[in-house]
Amino acid sequence: MKDSRYNSFFLIHNGLRTVLFETAIQLQQSDLSDPQCTTTEQVEDILSMFESHAHGEDHFFNEPLEEKDSRISNMFLKEHEEDHRLGQVLSDLINQWKNANDHQERSTVGRNLLYAFNEFIAFNLYHMNKEEIELNAVLWAHYSDEEIKATEQALVQQVPPDKMMRYAKWMMRGNNDEELYHWLKEVQLFAPQEVFNGLFKIAQEELPAERFHQLQLKLETQKVA
Ligand SMILES: [Fe+2]
């Protein structure tokens, strides 16, 4: 069922869920005893994406919410602290993995890395659901959709363009045609041309040809988001 109110977290969370799911499979298929294995780099990339994402949510949503509902504001700030702790466990393990002396040690640390990544996924799946259900309910009670969209705009604008494109890759992979159309149409209508061009290029790279073709057609022919 679609929310009747604006869910500011949905597109980006679908992107983040997708990178977690895809990396989980990749990690299981990787030979982590091999020092050349690059899956750990993708885990580091995930940590950097989740860290900035949580920081943006804290600064733009959770901290200002303190004056309206301090219990919910603190609950989500605390969850981000736990998220950071789980990320730190992972980055410590990645360092151990990089510095392992032999095949056996790398393999053992690699197994622990897989378990720690699963804990990170499990926590974040619950956490993102909770933001979309409990945090949204409180945001909706205190702010209009226009205010929430304006906050989201301010949040998006402080993300450096290269980082935005890294999120965008997973958002393209993780959202359905309808969501992608609304997102890109809004960008086409209201953002600078180069932002739209950058996203359009990622859509072309990430979507299957037929889905991309339909999206392109709709963006060319329909006038409203
Ligand atoms: Fe969050």
For the chain, the residue count is: 225
Residue 22 lies inside a defined structural domain of this protein: yes
Q: Within this chain, do residues 42 and 99 fall inside the same structural domain, yes or no?
A: yes
Q: Within this chain, do residues 220 and 140 fall inside the same structural domain, yes or no?
A: no
Query: Pick from 108, 126, 159: which residue ends a domain?
Result: 159
Q: Within this chain, do residues 27 and 102 fall inside the same structural domain, yes or no?
A: yes
Q: How far is the CA of 58 from the centre of ligand 1 (A)?
A: 8
Q: Within this chain, do residues 104 and 183 fall inside the same structural domain, yes or no?
A: no
Domains in the chain, number: 2
Q: How far is the CA of 127 from the centre of ligand 1 (A)?
A: 6
Residue 155 CA to residue 12 CA, distance in Å, equals 12
Q: Within this chain, do residues 106 and 73 fall inside the same structural domain, yes or no?
A: yes
- Amino acid identity at 203: A
Report whether 76 contacts 137 (CB < 8 A): no
Q: Within this chain, do residues 214 and 144 fall inside the same structural domain, yes or no?
A: no
Residue 131 lies inside a defined structural domain of this protein: yes
Q: How far is the CA of 158 from the centre of ligand 1 (A)?
A: 17
Q: Within this chain, do residues 155 and 209 fall inside the same structural domain, yes or no?
A: no
Residue 171 lies inside a defined structural domain of this protein: no
Query: Pick from 159, 187, 213: which residue ends a domain?
Result: 159
Residue 193 CA to residue 187 CA, distance in Å, equals 8
Which domain covers residue 120, as residue numbers? 10-159
Report whether 119 contacts 86 (CB < 8 A): yes
Would you state the pLDDT for residue 180?
98
Q: Within this chain, do residues 215 and 141 fall inside the same structural domain, yes or no?
A: no
Contacts of residue 59, Cβ cutoff 8 Å, sequence gap at least 6: 155
Q: Within this chain, do residues 132 and 99 fall inside the same structural domain, yes or no?
A: yes
Residue 76 lies inside a defined structural domain of this protein: yes
Residue 3 lies inside a defined structural domain of this protein: no
Q: How far is the CA of 67 from the centre of ligand 1 (A)?
A: 19
Would you state the pLDDT for residue 99?
97
Q: Within this chain, do residues 138 and 211 fall inside the same structural domain, yes or no?
A: no
Would you state the pLDDT for residue 141?
98
Query: Pick from 102, 132, 159: which residue ends a domain?
Result: 159
Q: Within this chain, do residues 109 and 32 fall inside the same structural domain, yes or no?
A: yes
Residue 20 lies inside a defined structural domain of this protein: yes
Residue 175 CA to residue 170 CA, distance in Å, equals 9
Q: C-alpha angle with apex 127: 125 to 132, nearest 5 degrees?
A: 95
Would you state the pLDDT for residue 1?
54
Residue 98 CA to residue 13 CA, distance in Å, equals 30
Q: How far is the CA of 114 from the centre of ligand 1 (A)?
A: 22
3-state SS, the chain, equals CCCCCCCCCHHHHHHHHHHHHHHHHHHHHCCCCCCCCCHHHHHHHHHHHHHHHHHHHHHHHHHHHCCCCHHHHHHHHHHHHHHHHHHHHHHHHHHHHHCCCCHHHHHHHHHHHHHHHHHHHHHHHHHHHHHHHHHHHHHHHHCCHHHHHHHHHHHHHCCCHHHHHHHHHHHHHHCCHHHHHHHHHHHHHHCCHHHHHHHHHHHHHHCCHHHHHHHHHHHHHCCCC
Q: Within this chain, do residues 23 and 101 fall inside the same structural domain, yes or no?
A: yes
Would you state the pLDDT for residue 113?
98
Q: How far is the CA of 193 from the centre of ligand 1 (A)?
A: 30
Which regions in the chain score pLDDT beneath 50? none
Residue 2 lies inside a defined structural domain of this protein: no
Q: Which two tokens stand for residue 187?
A: 């960008």
Q: How far is the CA of 76 from the centre of ligand 1 (A)?
A: 7
Residue 166 lies inside a defined structural domain of this protein: no
